[in-house]
Structure 1
């Protein structure tokens, strides 16, 4: 972000400021109009043809100057507070969130964050963590530290803050996803930990500076934790609570979800045990579950192997584009490919099946595809 943001950037923020404009409608506008600026500047007749965009929404075009002025103020405040702004279609927006239908149109971050790390692991749980839960959280982080995952959690009491502490103690990057703006650390007792995270990770939120903090913000932010996590581990959870909401969302996003089994007489194990019983989470017994499900061991063995792009002269242009994306990222989701290439999922399914048949890619659970070619 620069002190003099470009026009498209300001329009992106301005569009996100329209009241009750959901993420789905925001993306629909960008898809049909090509940019946020076009929504405000295209002839009204063209916009009226877009399904789902009614007169109430279109009426906000008349407030363009006010929205742009507010967007400028948001950028100026972010600059003063060393905050970065990430609009949905910008290069600095997290790729893991781009395939999610309800991803925030705009994100705000502070610290030394890498929002597209190679490996991520979400760790969540009850705010009333037992010593058992705290010990398991540190054990998980210690066992997986050799793979250098970025630890994602919510900076809350209990398991969340323990996950951040465990990451910092092992020099792992860690991101705290907040339900408040970046100048309002909640709970305030975690301000010191939040400051320590700035050097090796940082804070992320969808709420601009000055936003009112509401109890509904926290369940809402859980979708960001779920979306950023390659795998999510629920360490301890009662039958109801934010950790279970995050697990349900991660499950719906086709993320790998694990739950630590607990004492049948402990109410803070009931949620984890229910996730396992309902087959919405795998049983976490050791770090091997994570390593195997995400193929991290395979990546370690092949880290010194040189990727080689094979002869693709017989493939059609779309198949070549698909291969290029998988070659660059090593693993991609079908939803992300569909968004990135602007191609229907039904078309991609046919092309991916052909590429799998030809031995270029391999399908994995969660609608994921990995690159197969390497030079040993």
Structure 2
């Protein structure tokens, strides 16, 4: 993107209360950000969502001045800029209606023909969560996925350090401009992450640090990847917001189950219970659902001969065995069971190793 085009794209991004969705609508209608600033008011008013208030904002020169200052920062610090209509913009993020019109980067990022997953979770990761996260990424390393996270405490930094350890590309999506880092204690990891990937943000160097930025940042984490994995989460938390956004983008979501008594398993268990996430117990689960070949020559596995099923579980198992792949609602209907109870029974059967989930809320016998 040449400096003049970038200047007007920055100015458009600087207009308050415009938003990326409306900005994209304007760009697609008038061709370039510069054309928007030069367009007649009467033509702008024809666009749904554009009223006199927003037009007055577009006419304020302060947005061009702010863009000029940010452009100087970008050029001085050799910041990468990715425009949503150009090839180097993350492919999956292009399909997100509210994805940023501009994304800024530092490091050695290469997403071309790469498998990309996001790993998120609590900042207060437990020893069990840390061990699972490290083993999960180690087992996936043969597929060379890019590991996306938020560079925060807990699950985020555990996943990104594990990616570096396994020679994988990892990208931290930041909730602030590239002139700072949060948390400050993670500054020591910046060099190795930039050497093995880097950082993305859609925030400017002038943006003030704000907790609401994290929620906005989460749409990039969810949108850039093929799947979002929640390692651990309390009943409420930012990781669950990221999972909800991923679901809204029609992306796969996975959650690591835990004991009902474990505080940082509640969020994951609830995602699974609400059919908002696949159960994740190993790298093989992810590879299977995403149709990735984890091992071209797998060792023969001795199938469990005796699986203890009870009552309605046996009914569901028999139906699946005779009918093959079946969707959740059809299972409930044919077995004369409520859908909520069927979902709970299927989860128990999955944990016992009797069945496995498929995309589209389908299930089959193992």
Q: Does 1:216 align with 2:177?
A: no
Q: Over alpha carbons, which structure has the higher Rg?
A: 2
8 Å contact 2:143–2:294 — kept in the other structure?
no
8 Å contact 1:134–1:162 — kept in the other structure?
yes
**For 2:210, what is the secondary structure of its paired residue?**
coil
Deviations 1:216-235 (Å, cap 9, x if unpaired)?
11122111111112111111
Q: Does 1:22 align with 2:11?
A: no
Deviations 1:25-61 (Å, cap 9, x if unpaired)?
1011012111111111123322222221111111234
Q: Please, what TM-score do these two structures have when normalized by structure 2?
A: 0.78
Write the distance in 1 (CA, Å) between the matches of 2:9 and 2:86.
Answer: 10
Q: Which runs of 5+ in 2 are unaligned?
A: 298-357, 361-366
Write the distance in 2 (CA, Å) between the matches of 1:49 and 1:16.
Answer: 21
8 Å contact 1:137–1:235 — kept in the other structure?
yes
Structure 1 segments of 4+ aligned residues over 4 angstroms from their partners: 298-301
2:144 maps to which residue? 148
8 Å contact 2:233–2:267 — kept in the other structure?
yes
8 Å contact 1:237–1:244 — kept in the other structure?
yes
Deviations 1:199-247 (Å, cap 9, x if unpaired)?
1101111111121000111122111111112111111100000111111
Q: Does 1:267 align with 2:263?
A: yes
8 Å contact 1:93–1:115 — kept in the other structure?
no
Task: Give 1:1-376 correspondences, 5 Å limit.
Answer: 5-64=2-61, 66-297=62-293
Q: Please, what TM-score do these two structures have when normalized by structure 1?
A: 0.76
8 Å contact 1:13–1:87 — kept in the other structure?
no
Write the distance in 2 (CA, Å) between the matches of 1:300 and 1:223.
Answer: 34
Write the distance in 2 (CA, Å) between the matches of 1:299 and 1:10.
Answer: 48
Write the distance in 2 (CA, Å) between the matches of 1:167 and 1:61.
Answer: 43
Q: 1:54 to 1:297 in 2, by over 3 A?
A: same
**For 1:118, what is the secondary structure of its paired residue?**
coil
Pairwise CA distance, 1:62? 2.8
Write the distance in 2 (CA, Å) between the matches of 1:300 and 1:45.
Answer: 61
Write the distance in 1 (CA, Å) between the matches of 2:120 and 2:162.
Answer: 13
Write the distance in 2 (CA, Å) between the matches of 1:283 and 1:295.
Answer: 16
Q: 1:69 to 1:116 in 2, by over 3 A?
A: farther
